[in-house]
Amino acid sequence: METIQIHDKHFVPFINRDKIERYVEFIAKQIAQDLGPNEVPIFIGILNGSFMFAADFVRKYPHECHITFVKMASYEGVNSTGKIKHLVGINEDLEGRTVVILEDIIDTGNTLAEIYEIFRDKKVKQLKIATLFFKPDVFRKELPIDYIGKSIEDKFIVGYGLDYDGLGRNLSDIYQLKV
Ligand code: IMP
Ligand code: MG
């Protein structure tokens, strides 16, 4: 692994594919252990960033499961709160289901807060959050994160689904912004 350039910035090798695989496996094992073989969860990947994580994750998940993807989108609300976030792509009826959100990375937690808000009235049996990466130093919320692959320092990363201005998602390894 060598230093790379994306747009105007330089990135150094940070987490290689073998380590990523271990973090993904670690999360899959924990969830499988907690839910057991009889629960059929629905995993929901948050696009775009989690597509690679979700694809690898379900291959490590040893029991029956459903997998779907959603995208967060904002539109102008008709009330005074202005922008309202909603999910595009949920067609399944989630009532009574065990839902596990798959996130690529949780940073400030703003996206996570929106997800909790959206799922509040969906009458799910249980809602769990799994994130491959977590930046504890910038996290500002009092919200539970059930499964964390790896906590990392507050530096921008790319690769394995994560982008810098649209590029870098296709990299198999994770790179960190060189400062
Ligand atoms: P949050 O709402 O601040 O927790 O950040 C959520 C989203 O920002 C993530 O799902 C990513 O898409 C993006 N993001 C946060 N940190 C990084 C990073 O280091 N590299 C690339 N994308 C990031
Ligand atoms: Mg994301």
Q: Quick one: 93 exposed, middle or buried, by C-beta within 10 A (0-12, 13-18, 19+)?
A: exposed
Measured CA to CA, the distance from residue 133 to residue 123 in angstroms comes to 28
Q: Is 171 in the pocket of ligand 1 (CB under 6 A)?
A: no
pLDDT at residue 179, as a whole number: 86
pLDDT at residue 119, as a whole number: 85
- Residue 149 Cα to ligand 2 midpoint, Å, equals 15
Counted residue by residue, the chain has a size of: 179
Measured from the Cα of 155, ligand 1's closest atom is 19
Q: What is the chain's mean pLDDT, rounded? A: 92
How much is the average pLDDT of 26-42?
98
pLDDT at residue 24, as a whole number: 98
Residue nearest to atom 9 of ligand 1 (CA): 105
Strand 83-88: give its sheet, edge to edge.
83-88, 66-76, 42-47, 98-106, 126-134, 147-151
- Is the pLDDT confidence value at 79 over 70? no
Say which residue the tokens 């839902």 belong to: 99
Q: Which helix (H) or strand (E) holds 22?
A: helix 17-35
How big is the chain by its Cα radius of gyration, in Å? 17
173 CB neighbour count, 10 Å cutoff: 17
Could you tell me the CA-to-CA distances from 141 to 43, 116, 122 in Å, in that order?
23, 11, 21
Confidence of residue 88 (pLDDT cuts 50, 70, 90): confident
Query: Given ligand 1 and candidates 74, 107, 160, which is best to mutate, with the most ligand atoms within 8 Å of its CB?
Result: 107
Tell me what percent of the residues of the chain surpass a pLDDT of 90: 80
Q: Is 20 in the pocket of ligand 1 (CB under 6 A)?
A: no
The pTM of this model reads 0.94
pLDDT at residue 90, as a whole number: 80
Measured CA to CA, the distance from residue 173 to residue 15 in angstroms comes to 6
- Is the pLDDT confidence value at 1 over 90? no
Pull the structure tokens for residue 5: 């350039």
Say which residue the tokens 């394995």 belong to: 160
pLDDT at residue 169, as a whole number: 98
Per-residue pLDDT tens over the stretch 93-147 = 899 999 999 999 999 999 999 988 888 889 999 999 999 999 999 998 999 999 9
- Residue 158 Cα to ligand 1 midpoint, Å, equals 10
The maximal CA–CA distance of the chain, rounded, in angstroms, is 50
Residue nearest to atom 12 of ligand 1 (CA): 49
pLDDT at residue 127, as a whole number: 97
**Helices 51-60 and 17-35: crossing angle, nearest 10°?**
60
Q: Is 99 in the pocket of ligand 1 (CB under 6 A)?
A: no
Q: What domains sit in the chain, N to C, each tagged with a CATH number? A: 18-152 (3.40.50.2020)
Residue of 8, 34, 107, 173 marked catalytic: 107
Confidence of residue 166 (pLDDT cuts 50, 70, 90): very high
